[in-house]
């Protein structure tokens, strides 16, 4: 049987179940048929005969379609999904130590937060991340607008950080992080993105974050950008120049800030290095956390919950879980949360698409900064700050942020076999 191109493609595509794979396979086969036809034409055969030979090289369309269906079927990273379910479940444990009435209220909210997070992760897994490859400017504008709105129209403030309250949700600077994350992935994947673009966009967004202010969010943002920068399409020389110049700028800026800060602000830093001297002030929290961790024991204190732990369900949730359930549980929790890091790294090595790789690296960085900073803070190796423990700390925005990140990881993994070789770097 002699096939025409359209008939051949139709027969192949009919064997493929995934809509995304259908489109991908059709584009790839069309390209390869065109190239094969061109080769035969250059050898002197006619247009019609060249097309027939190109098609015959592909083999039986039904057999080919069945093979391609197995090869390019969208995949679910079940390891990541299982980790996500387990970790979200563990997130309920801190609420068991709270007062009954408070716990009931928090429990209802936690269920709602987790449901939102699960739906968000699933939704982004199903969305084709490649559709956002050219939307960098749109995402950057959205992140900038959130920060400007917090500057200009705050509803209230908590610990000096502006917040906009709307029905069912409070918007803070952390909400801008996902938009900037998507923006920088698109920018760094683009060959037209220039070094001066980087300086302009990074500095403008950096000073917006500083003006909010939220040091923890700014800290996440800076590390995210510079880690993703290393995997950008800039030359290594340009990357080193950017990093050296920005490090110098940060040092100069830091020296200026030190000269302008007041003594009570400096005490926060001094208290980290010598908490006993400032035990009645900023050193109190360091000493309290040290006491909590010392009294935890290997098996915890589940029947002795008389110790009042500040921020037990938010920033100090790892300390509270260690106290109530012991060091064995704490080590197990640390290992479970570390598996997210290990899994994303493993997936990154399997991804050939440069844009997908940048999304994975960005997600890994944002998650890793939260995770390791919170743990180091609890064990006394990092200053106290408002840094959540991913999926475990109470709060809607931290859960949504990390659920979104895992959704993006799942989206990239799902389409790891649907990347055209023509789009590879």
pLDDT for the residue numbered 170: 76
φ/ψ of 24, rounded to 5, equals -65, -50
**413 touches 347 (CB < 8 A):** yes
Q: Give just the sign of the alpha carbon dihedral 184, 190, 194, 195.
A: positive
Q: Choose one of 71, 86, 105: the last residue of a domain.
A: 71
**310 touches 97 (CB < 8 A):** no
Q: Does one domain contain both 162 and 209? A: yes
Q: Any idea what DSSP says for residue 74?
A: -
**Closest to 191 in 3D by CA, of 353, 425, 351, 363:** 425
pLDDT for the residue numbered 306: 54
Q: Give just the sign of the alpha carbon dihedral 382, 285, 304, 99.
A: negative
Q: Does one domain contain both 140 and 281? A: yes
pLDDT for the residue numbered 252: 84
Q: How many CA atoms lie within 13 A of 56 on its CB side?
A: 9
Q: Does one domain contain both 41 and 178? A: no
**Closest to 425 in 3D by CA, of 242, 231, 240, 137:** 231
Cis ω for the linkage preceding 213 (within 30 of 0): yes
Q: Does one domain contain both 263 and 388? A: yes
**391 touches 110 (CB < 8 A):** no
Q: Kindly state the helix (H) or strand (E) to which residue 398 belongs, with its residue range.
A: helix 396-414
φ/ψ of 366, rounded to 5, equals -60, -45
Q: Where are the beta strands (DSSP E) in 167-316?
A: 169-171
pLDDT for the residue numbered 159: 64
**Closest to 213 in 3D by CA, of 258, 158, 252:** 158
Alpha-carbon gap, residue 154 to 144, rounded angstroms: 15
**40 touches 54 (CB < 8 A):** yes
pLDDT for the residue numbered 101: 44
Q: Does one domain contain both 170 and 287? A: yes
Q: Does one domain contain both 44 and 157? A: no
Q: Kindly list the distances between the CA atom of residue 77 and the CA atoms of 346, 410, 411, in Å, as whole numbers in the listed order.
A: 11, 6, 9
Quick one: tokens of 295? 């009294």
Q: Choose one of 71, 106, 125: the last residue of a domain.
A: 71
Q: Choose one of 71, 99, 123: the last residue of a domain.
A: 71
Q: In what order do the strands lie in the sheet with 169-171?
A: 156-158, 161-166, 169-171
Tokens 């952390």 correspond to what residue? 174
Q: Give just the sign of the alpha carbon dihedral 150, 152, 155, 160.
A: positive
Q: Does one domain contain both 12 and 157? A: no
**Closest to 378 in 3D by CA, of 274, 248, 291:** 291
Alpha-carbon gap, residue 189 to 231, rounded angstroms: 9
pLDDT for the residue numbered 237: 93
**Closest to 292 in 3D by CA, of 259, 327, 264:** 327
**Closest to 118 in 3D by CA, of 369, 406, 365:** 406
Tally of domains in the chain? 2
* Total-model pTM: 0.84
Domain range spanning residue 60? 5-71
Q: Does one domain contain both 85 and 64? A: no
Q: Does one domain contain both 345 and 323? A: yes
CA–centroid distance for 399 within its chain: 11
Q: Where are the beta strands (DSSP E) in 154-233?
A: 156-158, 161-166, 169-171
Alpha helices in 14-99 (DSSP H): 19-42, 47-58, 61-71, 78-90
pLDDT for the residue numbered 260: 61
CA–centroid distance for 324 within its chain: 30
Largest CA distance in the chain: 90
* pLDDT by residue, tens only, the chain of 425 residues: 445 777 777 777 777 777 777 777 777 777 777 777 777 787 777 777 777 777 777 777 787 777 777 766 778 889 999 999 999 888 877 766 555 445 667 778 888 888 888 999 999 998 889 889 889 999 999 999 999 988 887 767 666 677 777 776 778 888 999 999 999 999 999 888 999 999 999 999 998 998 887 888 999 999 999 999 999 999 999 999 999 999 998 888 777 776 665 565 567 677 778 777 777 777 778 888 888 888 887 887 765 555 567 776 778 888 888 888 889 999 999 999 999 999 999 999 988 889 999 999 999 999 999 999 999 988 888 888 888 899 888 888 889 999 999 999 999 998 887 665 554 44
Q: Does one domain contain both 99 and 35? A: no
pLDDT for the residue numbered 171: 80
Helices and strands (H, E) in the chain, number of each type? 16, 3
Q: Does one domain contain both 96 and 44? A: no
φ/ψ of 162, rounded to 5, equals -70, 145
Q: Does one domain contain both 67 and 171? A: no
**324 touches 97 (CB < 8 A):** yes
């Amino acid at each position: 049987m002699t096939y025409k191109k359209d008939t051949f493609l139709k027969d192949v595509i009919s064997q493929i179940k995934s809509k995304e794979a259908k489109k991908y396979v059709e584009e790839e086969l069309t390209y390869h048929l065109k190239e094969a036809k061109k080769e035969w034409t250059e050898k002197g055969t006619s247009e019609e005969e060249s097309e027939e030979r190109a098609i015959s090289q592909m083999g039986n369309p039904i057999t080919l379609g069945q093979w391609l269906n197995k090869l390019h079927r969208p995949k679910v990273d079940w390891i990541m999904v299982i980790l996500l379910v387990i970790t979200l479940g563990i997130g309920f444990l801190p609420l068991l130590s709270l007062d009954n009435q408070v716990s009931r209220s928090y429990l209802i909210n936690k269920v709602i937060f987790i449901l939102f997070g699960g739906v968000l992760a699933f939704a982004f897994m199903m969305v084709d991340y490649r559709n956002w490859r050219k939307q960098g400017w749109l995402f950057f504008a959205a992140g900038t607008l959130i920060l400007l709105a917090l500057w200009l129209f705050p509803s209230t403030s908590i610990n000096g950080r502006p917040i906009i309250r709307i029905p069912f949700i409070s918007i803070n600077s952390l909400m801008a992080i996902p938009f900037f994350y998507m923006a920088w992935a698109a920018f760094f994947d683009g060959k037209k993105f220039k070094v001066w673009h980087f300086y302009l966009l990074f500095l403008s967004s950096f000073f917006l974050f500083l003006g909010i202010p939220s040091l923890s969010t700014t800290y996440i943002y800076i590390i995210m950008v510079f880690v993703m920068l290393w995997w950008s399409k800039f030359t290594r020389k340009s990357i080193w120049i950017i990093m050296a110049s920005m490090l110098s700028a940060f040092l100069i800026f830091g020296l200026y800030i030190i000269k302008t800060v007041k003594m009570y602000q400096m005490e926060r830093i001094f208290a980290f290095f010598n908490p006993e001297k400032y035990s009645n002030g900023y050193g109190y929290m360091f000493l309290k956390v040290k006491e909590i961790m010392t009294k935890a024991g290997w098996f915890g204190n589940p029947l002795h919950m008389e110790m009042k732990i500040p921020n037990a369900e938010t920033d100090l949730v790892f300390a509270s879980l260690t106290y109530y359930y012991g060091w064995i549980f704490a080590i197990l929790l640390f290992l479970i949360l570390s598996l997210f890091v290990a899994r994303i790294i493993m997936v990154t090595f399997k991804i050939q698409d440069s844009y997908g790789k940048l999304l994975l690296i960005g997600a890994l960085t944002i998650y890793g900064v939260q995770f390791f900073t919170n743990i180091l803070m609890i064990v006394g190796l990092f200053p106290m700050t408002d840094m959540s423990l991913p999926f475990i700390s109470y709060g809607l925005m931290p859960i949504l942020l990390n659920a979104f990140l895992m959704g993006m990881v799942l989206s990239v993994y799902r389409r790891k076999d649907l990347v055209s070789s023509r789009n590879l770097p």
